[in-house]
Structure 1
Amino acid sequence: MTKLTNRSYTYYFLLPAGIIYFVFFLLPTIMSFFFSMTWWTLTDWKFIGLENFITFLTEPSLNIGFKNTLIYAIVTCSLKVILGLLLGVFLSQKLKTIGFVRSMVFFPTLLSTIAVGMAFAMMMHPTQGLINTALKIVGITGPDWLGDTTIALLSVALVDVWKGVGMATVIFIAGIMSIPEDYYEALAIDGGNSFHKFWNIIVPLSRPAMNSVIILAFIGGLRSFDLVWAMTKGGPGFSTDLIASIIYKQYQGGFYGLSTAGNVILFIVVSALAFPLYAFLNKKEVDL
């Protein structure tokens, strides 16, 4: 009887968190699935079945949006992992100014995404932007970073990497500094050099940190919207349109049920890609 009472007592502490989770996450999720199958406004709704999903999936720009979203997620995720790992290795060293350098690397993460997008949109202006002006001084004619359909998506992705690599670096630093010194001492006794230290110790033993960065960066890339919208609004044409920006355009047009169906589709796409990736990465982890 005492054991049962203690268990019930524990559940009372979990109840407030459970209520908050239900009200602010679970209930809106269930309502989104329902309203995705309706035509609705703020005052009225009508059930229409799967019509919204069919309409959204037949959107002419959706194929481009899917391709752009996948490219964007892969590029940003890959660069954040590579740069974050290299910076993490460098910033794990014992240097006098290491605290200042770490702060500078992490600082962009603290900035507003909209503010960063607007600032870089001005800096990447083809004739008056700071980047092309600096290139012109050294005799290089800079491209139209956001107006050229062939490089616009990559330009936005590079800004995303600049803003987000600080968080990846912090995660890698934590993973690298948790590696026991015994491994490095054993490598030194065997005559290993800096490359062996990086490739044979840091890379495999920081895999839990790497897995976290991959999952967070990949999901973030698939769900990205605010930076793209602040810099290009999906243009020129559909060259930087992502699934999230297509959903927002439907919402702007007053097609609320259609945009809700798009959100459900995005949720399914992210889940279908993220969960298998998470399971695959967990199989590759190395225990210390």
Structure 2
Amino acid sequence: MATATAGRRSTYPYWFLIPGGLIFTVFFLVPSVMAFYFSLTRWTLFDQEFIGLDNYVQFFREPALASGLTHTLIYALVTSGLKVVLGMALAILLTGPIIGRGFMRSVAFFPVLVSTIGVGLTFQVLMHPTKGLINQALAVIGIDGPAWLVDPSWALLSVALVDVWQGVGLATVIYMAGILTIPGEYFEAAKMDGASAWHRFRHVTLPLAKPATISVIILSLIGGLRKFDLIWAMTKGGPGFTSDVMASVVYKQYQAGFYGLSTAGNVVLFLLVILIVLPLFWFFNRREES
């Protein structure tokens, strides 16, 4: 009787995995397998033809692919790096004894709640080279602002800066959660030992907030590698192809009616994210365990 009861208890929790497993299978596993299959075909809404790896060969021959891949990596590195630095700085400020701390926390997080398309269209107006409010404000203090979105050397960086403005609030919240879990006794002990604010940050806050840093890096990299909506709303990959990223290259293939080719591009983008994020995640976890 005891053995039967123990057996029932050991299998009972597995029933809770069924709903999650079904959701994962229907909304992730099945579409992923279908995407891999359709990337090997020339398909439309009405028919399909299996062509093997021809879509991948053609996709890697696309002139815009090399620049799109480079822009994707640059965009992801710039946005994730700035979110780590600014998110940490804002979190330290907003967990300290400042006036209106609750209000300032709300202001810092507010851009995260705004529609990305709305943010893109708003900054498209603000960054107009002659009529934009940003360049007009810079002109007041004697600075000749660049042609943010129409200058090939500035377009991608301009979108990246807007992305950081919108997304740094989430990084700040993650860092705030990490900092607030650090016992206050550590800071008090360091202060009693004569540690300056910089040394308390370097030897207490920075190492103990490492899990938050890992989360911000991983989430920011994934978001940066997959970014499309903000770039499309602000520049549509232009001027020329100077702000095209992998996602916008794939979308342009869809627009042109090359569905199999664009599906292959989606698979390449998916594999790119996996190949960058998984080793990084493994590296961080290994360092954490050691």
In the alignment, what sits opposite 2:275? 272
Equivalent position SS for 1:254:
coil
Q: How high is the TM-score relative to the length of structure 1?
A: 0.96
Q: Where do residues 246-285 of structure 1 align in structure 2 (5 Å cutoff)?
A: 246-285=249-288
Offset at residue 42 of structure 1 (A): 1.0
Within 5 A, what are the aligned runs for 1:1-288? 1-285=4-288
Q: Following TM superposition, by how much is the alpha carbon of 1:286 offset from its aligned partner in structure 2, in angstroms?
A: 8.0
Distance in 2 (alpha carbons) for counterparts of 1:96 and 1:233: 42
C-alpha separation in 1, matches of 2:15 and 2:280: 36
Paired residue secondary structure (2:272)? helix
Distance of 2:251 and 2:17 partners within structure 1: 36
Q: CA deviation at 1:281?
A: 1.8
1:72–1:221 CA contact under 8 A, matched in 2: yes
Structure 1 vs Structure 2 CA RMSD: 1.3
Q: How many angstroms does 1:231 deviate by?
A: 0.2
Distance 2:170 2:59 in 1: 34
**Is 14-23 or 242-251 further displaced after alignment?**
14-23
**Which has the larger displacement, 153-162 or 174-183?**
174-183
Q: What CA distance in whole angstroms lies between the structure 1 residues aligned with 2:282 and 2:242?
A: 32
Mean Cα deviation higher: 258-267 or 184-193: 184-193
Amino acid corresponding to residue 256 of structure 1 in structure 2:
Y
Counterpart Cα distance in 2 of 1:212 and 1:194: 25
The one-letter code of the counterpart of 2:164 is V
Equivalents in 2 of 1:186, 1:284: separation in Å? 26
Deviation sequence 1:42-64 (CA, Å, 0-9, x none): 11111100000111111001000
CA contact (8 A) 1:73 1:220 kept: yes
Whether the 8 Å CA contact 1:126–1:132 is kept in 2: the answer is yes
- Deviation, structure 1 residue 210: 0.3
Q: Aligned equivalents of 1:191 and 1:140: distance in 2?
A: 43
How far off its partner does 1:184 sit? 1.2
C-alpha deviation, 1:181, in angstroms: 1.7
Which amino acid letter does the alignment assign opposite residue 275 of structure 2? A
User: Structure 2 counterpart of 1:195, which letter?
Assistant: W
SS of residue matched to 1:284: helix
Following TM superposition, by how much is the alpha carbon of 1:137 offset from its aligned partner in structure 2, in angstroms? 2.5
Tell me by how many angstroms 1:136 deviates: 2.2
- Determine the C-alpha separation between the residues in 1 that align with 2:35 and 2:55: 12
Q: TM-score, normalised by structure 2?
A: 0.96
The answer on whether the counterparts of 1:109 and 1:167 sit within 8 Å (CA) in structure 2 is yes
Give the match's secondary structure for 2:288.
coil
The answer to whether the Cα contact below 8 Å between 1:204 and 1:286 also exists between their aligned partners in 2 is no
Q: Percent identity, aligned pairs only? A: 56
Tell me how far 1:5 sits from its aligned partner.
Answer: 2.7
Counterparts in 2 of 1:284 and 1:12: CA distance versus 1, 3 Å: closer
The answer to whether the 8 A contact 1:171-1:213 is kept is yes
Q: Report deviation, 1:14.
A: 2.1
1: CA distance between counterparts of 2:289 and 2:182? 12
Q: What is the Cα deviation at residue 134 of structure 1? A: 1.5
